[in-house]
Structures are given as C-alpha cells and as structure tokens.
C-alpha cells in the first residue's frame, strides 16, 4: 500500500510504503537499515548511528537543512537501546523579523559554527544532559527515549519558508519550517516502529512545535501512528491584547506564515496565532498537548514587550490562554490540552534545569504521557 505525505507549504510530495522494514532483525532496531524503495519513492535514508555511539550526542549534517546565512544545517541525535520511544526536540534562540530584531539577535543568523553541539548546548556542552535529557534522573519520564534535537538557526521560530531582506543586513533564510520537513524525511523511516512519539520544544522551539505539529503528525499518521504528544516549554502564543495584531501581522508577513502554518490553519491569520492550538486539536483527534511556562518568565516577558512595543502582563496573558483552551475541551475530545504554570522568572523548565527544580512538573508530564484521566492544568 502506498500513502502520500506532503508537508503544508513545502513542495515535493514524498511517498512511503506502510511496511518500511521487513523486521527489526534486519537491522531496523540499530537505525542502519537502507531507505525503502517501494517503487514510488521514499521518505529518505534512516539516520545512521552505530550501536557503539548510542547514548552519546552525535551531529547529523543534512545539506537540505539551511541556516539563516544559507550555511548547512542538521540535527543532533542521542539514541538508546532502552526503548524505541522517540522525542523530537526543537531548541530556542533569538527572533528576527525586521531590521531591529535581526540586529539585536544577530548571533542566531550566522550559522552553527565549527561545533554545532556547542551552538546548541553551550560552549561546554553543559546542556547535553539536563532536564529531560538526563538519563540518570529516575523522576524523568523521558529518560529512556531516543532524542532528535533540531537547533534554531533561522530566526523564525522554526516556522518560515522564505528568504527575506532587511537592508542593510544580508538576506535572511527563514526556512525553519522547511528544515523540519527535511528532518521528517529522515526521522520517520528511522522510527517507524516507535512505541511513543513526543514532539517538544523550548522557547522559540516551543512555538515551533505547535507550528510544525501538523506536518510532523501527518507524516507519522501516514505509516499508521497515533497523534504524537506535544510539549511546548516557554513558548506561549498569547491572545490579543497580550500579543498585538500589529506584531502578528509583521511576523506573518516576514516569515510568510500564510504559506506554511496558514495553509492548514486559516484561523491563525484571521483570529490570531493562538488558534493553532484549537486547530490542531480538531485536525488530530486524540492528541495530548501542554504548555509549560513561568508566570514571570523574564525572556518571554522581554520578547512580548519587544513585539508589542510596550509592557505586557504575562501572568494575566497566561491565565487568559488557559481559560480559553479550557473553554473548548469538550468540543475537541478526545484531544486534550493542559497548562503547567509555576512561580518565578526562569526561562524554561524541560532542558534548562533538573526537572526537580520545578516541583510537580515530572508528575504532570508523566500523566500527560501515560494518558491519565487525572491529568489536570496546574496554575497556582
């Protein structure tokens, strides 16, 4: 049987056979099987990682993935023999949508450098084993997962597919959405047998997991997988007036969101970017999604202040968002969305610090992952 998958806003359909591999004994469990030729095309080659390199971070260059300066991109992987569970994680970074923001956040526009892992995890790679990436933390519900981590080097929150000009700056390749599509071509054949699939992200990546969820879930649905679990850490898309119409219009125009997200979420253009949450719940029945954020997150507050050209009451905006998502839960069931809010100004909770630094978060995520009926919003 041949099924067609096409990422919204990305040209070039790809075909994939349901039977991507005859059996795990043929090598699928070690992620070394060749790409599948079903006579009509393939997703692409699986990600080659030798068993000796499991539970180590390995950089995978992907020529089709590009950074803002049109240099080569890719992703990092950390595979394990402990399970076939999969976490695809989108990292954060600065924002660029006009001359001011692209000047402020120039560091995100110059490629990954000589050491992409340092770009992603810090000069000392200290972030490689923190939060959900900590396999030694018994409270971490994702510790036995395989990880695929995408850097944010396009300035567009992983959401664009265009080349923009902001004179006198060099052209900026806002191709984060296309990068995710390219990564999907490698991820799906590698984890066609995944037992549990999670799409998560932090900061700009938190926005990115919502804007890319549809193409990611659609690709896995084409091989019979249920909707992945979605975790948005410190990337809330607030409603008006907390995110102004002017800011939304500027971002949509600069990143060409109407051709990426707007292709499957028309309400994102007419109602606001927050509508992506309601739309996803309708498009993918049974998805379980969450938003995690501190009430006084200093970076989110600064970002919204920059976007709106004035101060923002972040806690009020977060509570408004939670009230809104709660209002439509009955109409989108069995899909479910919950929020986990906490006091303080720290930016991020899933990879910035041990999960224990955010009391209750590990239990909240466990309930989301396990499909527990007792999974509830936390807003102290």
Q: Give 54-88 pLDDT, tens digit per residue.
A: 999 999 999 999 999 999 999 999 999 999 999 99
- For 21, half-sphere exposure in the C-beta direction (CA atoms, 13 angstrom radius) is 23
Q: For residue 210, tell me if it sits in a domain.
A: yes
- For 238, half-sphere exposure in the C-beta direction (CA atoms, 13 angstrom radius) is 26
Q: Which residue, 161, 159, 142, 141, is CA-closest to 150?
A: 159
Q: For residue 38, tell me if it sits in a domain.
A: no
Structure tokens at 21: 């591999």
List all residues 6 or more positions away from 168 whose beta carbon is below 8 Å from its beta carbon. Answer: none
What sign results for the dihedral spanned by CA atoms 216, 217, 218, 220? positive
Q: For residue 90, tell me if it sits in a domain.
A: yes
> What's the predicted TM-score (pTM) here?
0.90
Q: What is the pLDDT of residues 171-217, one digit of tens each?
A: 999 999 999 999 999 999 999 999 999 999 999 999 999 999 999 99
Q: For residue 7, tell me if it sits in a domain.
A: no
State yes or no: pLDDT of 165 exceeds 80.
Answer: yes
What value does the mean pLDDT of the chain take? 89
Which CATH number fits the domain that encloses residue 60? 3.40.50.1820
Residue range of the domain that includes 59: 49-370
* Under 8 Å between Cβ of 329 and 106: no
d(CA 95, CA 166): 14
Q: For residue 345, tell me if it sits in a domain.
A: yes
Q: For residue 299, tell me if it sits in a domain.
A: yes
Q: For residue 169, tell me if it sits in a domain.
A: yes
* Under 8 Å between Cβ of 145 and 84: no
Q: For residue 202, tell me if it sits in a domain.
A: yes
Number of domains the chain contains = 1
Q: What is the pLDDT of residues 301-357, one digit of tens each?
A: 999 999 999 989 999 999 999 999 999 999 999 999 999 999 999 999 999 999 999
């Amino acid at each position: 049987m041949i099924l067609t998958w096409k990422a919204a806003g990305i040209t070039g359909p790809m075909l994939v056979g349901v039977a991507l591999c005859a059996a795990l004994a043929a090598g699928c469990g070690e992620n070394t099987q060749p790409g599948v030729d079903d006579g009509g095309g393939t997703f692409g080659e699986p990600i080659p990682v030798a068993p000796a390199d499991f539970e180590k971070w390995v950089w995978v260059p992907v020529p089709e993935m590009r950074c803002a300066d049109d240099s080569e991109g890719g992703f990092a992987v950390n595979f394990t023999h402990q399970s076939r569970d999969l976490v695809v994680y989108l990292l954060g970074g600065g924002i660029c949508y006009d001359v001011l923001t692209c000047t402020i956040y120039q560091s995100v526009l110059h490629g990954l450098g000589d050491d992409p892992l340092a770009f992603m995890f810090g000069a000392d790679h200290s972030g490689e084993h923190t939060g959900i990436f900590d396999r030694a933390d018994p409270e971490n519900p994702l510790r036995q997962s395989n990880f695929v981590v995408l850097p944010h080097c396009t300035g567009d929150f992983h959401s664009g597919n265009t080349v923009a000009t902001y004179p006198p700056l060099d052209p900026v390749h806002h191709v984060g959405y296309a990068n995710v599509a390219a990564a999907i071509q490698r991820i799906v054949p590698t984890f066609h047998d995944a037992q549990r699939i999670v799409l998560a992200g932090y900061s700009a990546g938190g926005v990115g997991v919502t804007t890319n969820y549809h193409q990611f879930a659609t690709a896995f649905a084409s091989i019979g997988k249920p909707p992945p679990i979605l975790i948005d850490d410190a990337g809330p898309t607030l409603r008006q007036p907390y995110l102004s119409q002017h800011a939304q219009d500027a971002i949509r125009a600069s990143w060409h969101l109407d051709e990426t997200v707007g292709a499957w979420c028309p309400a994102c253009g007419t109602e606001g970017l927050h509508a992506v949450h309601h739309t996803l719940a309708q498009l993918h029945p049974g998805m379980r999604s969450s938003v995690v954020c501190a009430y006084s997150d200093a970076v989110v507050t600064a970002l919204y202040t920059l976007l709106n050209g004035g101060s923002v009451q972040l806690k009020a905006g977060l509570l408004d968002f939670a009230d809104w998502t709660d209002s439509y839960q009955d109409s989108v069931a069995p899909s479910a969305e919950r929020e986990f809010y906490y006091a303080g100004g720290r930016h991020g909770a899933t990879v910035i610090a041990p999960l224990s630094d955010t009391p209750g978060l590990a239990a909240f995520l466990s309930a989301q992952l396990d499909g527990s009926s007792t999974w509830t919003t936390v807003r102290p």
